Amino acid sequence: MKQTFFPLFCLALVLCACQPKADSLIGEWKADKVSVQFDERRSTPDMVKQVGELEKHNHFVINNDSSLVFYSLDTKATGRISTDKQGSLFWDCDYFGQWKNGEIVTTTSSPLGEITIVYKKAE
């Protein structure tokens, strides 16, 4: 009987270790690095700089009840956050970003190009 439970216990331990711990995600996250990769034919350097500066104001809070509240300059949005075994984060079932090494990385695509934001947990 003990021989049957030990492999199952080890498997459960390994699966839990692969996912971000809920406590690690709970708290306020602030934009740390912003990378704007826009098509040069459709944008100007000033536009890229302005978009990058605006994105630096983004932050969000993940609460104990798995709710996420996202803040930008004049917008507040709420939803539910969930994770998978690879560290992917989903906001109301839509892909939100990747949790890795204590950071959350999001990438947004638009007709102009991509914006990648690295969020770090506020201290």
What pLDDT score does 87 carry? 93
CATH of domain 2-121: 2.40.128
pTM strictly above 0.85: no
Distance in angstroms (rounded) separating the CA atoms of residues 22 and 66: 9
Is residue 105 predicted with pLDDT exceeding 60? yes
Both structure tokens of 118: 């690295």
pLDDT at 58: 95
